[in-house]
Amino acid sequence: MTPARATLALALLLPGMAAAFDPSGVDVEVRLRAAPEGSWANDTSPFAPAAALTGLGAERGRGEVEARLRADALTADVAWRFTSLQGRQPESAAVLNELFYDAEPLGQHLTLGKKVLSWDVGYGFRPLDVIQQEVRRAFLPFALEGIPLVAWERFGERSATTLVWANPLRGTAPSPRDDESVALRHYLRLGGLDLHLVGRWSRRTLGQGGLAGAVVLGEAVELHASSLYQRRLERAGDARLDPGAPPLAADDPARLRVSSDAVSALAGFTLTPGWDLSILAEGWIDPAAATAAEWRARADLARRQGALLSDPGVPREVVLGNLAWGARAFDARNLVRGSTYLRVTQRWDRLEPALDLLWTPADGGLVATAALDWEGERWRLGAAARIYGGARNAAARLLPQGGAFTASTELRW
């Protein structure tokens, strides 16, 4: 948020804040989290020589102090975050995750400020999160940072409507979370079925529309599915992958690839057969992600670039820089277009072991995570380890890190 916009937001919020302030009704919650992290390298990755430039596998820890304050209709969530990368100075930043005022003039529900918006019913992938998008692969993701918005809501007995003006007056921006847009979500409870209809329009991405549903069958089965149609789909491309293009670029080779009429979809279920056991399985298609063929092409390109490292006529920095540009493909929300996800957890009193498997059938990639959490009254301790593997040219196998591990501590008061 620019200083001018922050000032405007504060000017709009201050009257509400003053009216809302009642010391007896102030509710404060503080959470402190710290997680040292380590990883081991995947020397077989063609991107490995540039690992130090990309930061992939260099995470050595992250931490966050988050304070959430609520005074009647006013909510604020601020965080101080730090990250540590190998070979670099630790970085820290203060982030205003949320600051919003829930006003109710004339029986209407209005929200003004910065707020987290989560609209989808899925876990591994969330097509209907058309504005807010979560980072799904982080071991210990930071608290979500909200979207500047003005929202109007209406609640019926079995329905709810939310109309959002996101990033007001901001104009177009590359990321949906920063792009000015108008979005509508309508919720219906049809018998035991939760139905969500979502639409979004922005000058940049034009129209999007989607549908999601969730239902519980019997005592132990929950089903959910969602799908989103996008009139204009933007994908990350690479000019060096164009036919006949040279393997090394002098300038940033990132190219925006635009296509029309794309559909993303997710379906999954949760099974709770008893014994405090929970099984979540999902499958999804993300047309913004790369195909297995594109990953093969990226791997081939990286190998050709790597071969140039032994060529004395080619500056090493140029090759490493080009490899690092290519490695930005790992920042994608989904690495591969089709994914399947399985999560099994079981609660043993205060202990909760969990196993996560992400398998991408098209390229044979696999990401496996095992975690163990212990939850006390105020403390939560955790440990997790993750391995990336699969077929030779699978996206997960091409990562310059072979795996990672972490131990986390969380204190709440």
Partner 1 sequence: MSRITALLLALTLLPALPARAGEVAALLRKADAFRLAEGNLSVETQLETFKSGVLDKDRRYLVYVKPGRRSLVLSRSAVEKGQKILMLEDDFWMVLPSSQRPIRITPAQKLLGDAAAGDVATMAWADDYGGEVAGTDEVGGVPCQRLALRARRKGVTYQRIELWLARADAHPVQADLYVASDKLAKRATFALERVEGRLQVSTMTLVDQIQANRSTVIRYLARHPRTVPEEFFNPMFLVRNEPREQP
Binding site for partner 1 (CB under 8 A): 25, 29, 68, 70, 72-73, 75, 102, 109, 111, 116-121, 143-144, 153, 155-158, 160, 162, 187, 189, 192, 194, 214-216, 218-222, 224, 270, 272-274, 276, 278, 347, 349, 375-378, 412-413
Question: Among residues 160 and 383, whose Cβ is nearest to partner 1?
Answer: 160
Cα separation of 283 and 286, whole Å? 10
112, 100 Cβ separation under 8 angstroms:
yes
Phi first, then psi, for residue 86 (nearest 5°) are -60, 130
Cβ-based nearer residue to partner 1, 118 or 172: 118
- 20 or 368, CB closer to partner 1? 20
> Could you give the CA distance from residue 83 to residue 406 in angstroms, rounded to a whole number?
13
Shortest gap between Cβ of 371 and partner 1 (angstroms)? 15
Nearer to partner 1, 163 or 366 (CB): 163
> Mind giving me the DSSP string for 132-157?
-----S-SSPPPPP-EEEEEEEEE-S
Q: How far is the CB of 116 from partner 1 (least distance, A)?
A: 5
Q: Which H/E stretch holds residue 388?
A: strand 379-390
Closest to partner 1 by CB, 119 vs 325, is 119
Choose between 84 and 161: whose C-beta lies nearer to partner 1.
Answer: 161
- How far is Cα 395 from Cα 42, in angstroms, rounded to an integer? 13
For residue 371, give every residue at least 6 positions away whose Cβ sits within 8 Å of its Cβ, in sequence order, or none: 353, 354, 355, 356, 382, 383, 384, 385
Structure-token pair, residue 24: 């007896």
Least CB distance to partner 1 at residue 381 (A):
13
Find the shortest distance in angstroms from Cβ 91 to partner 1: 23
Looking at beta carbons only, is 157 or 251 nearer to partner 1? Answer: 157
For residue 121, the minimal CB distance to partner 1 (Å) is 8
User: What tokens were used for 168?
Assistant: 């007001």
Side-chain half-sphere exposure of 39, counting CA atoms within 13 A: 25
113/132 Cα distance (integer angstroms): 15
Q: How far is the CB of 349 from partner 1 (least distance, A)?
A: 8
Least CB distance to partner 1 at residue 5 (A)? 23
319, 248 contact by CB (below 8 A): yes
Tell which phi-psi region holds residue 137, choosing left (phi > 0), alpha (psi between -120 and 50) or beta. Answer: alpha
Compare residues 190 and 309 and give the one whose CB is closer to partner 1: 190
First vs last C-alpha separation in the chain: 29
Please, what is the minimum distance in Å from the beta carbon of residue 102 to partner 1? Answer: 5
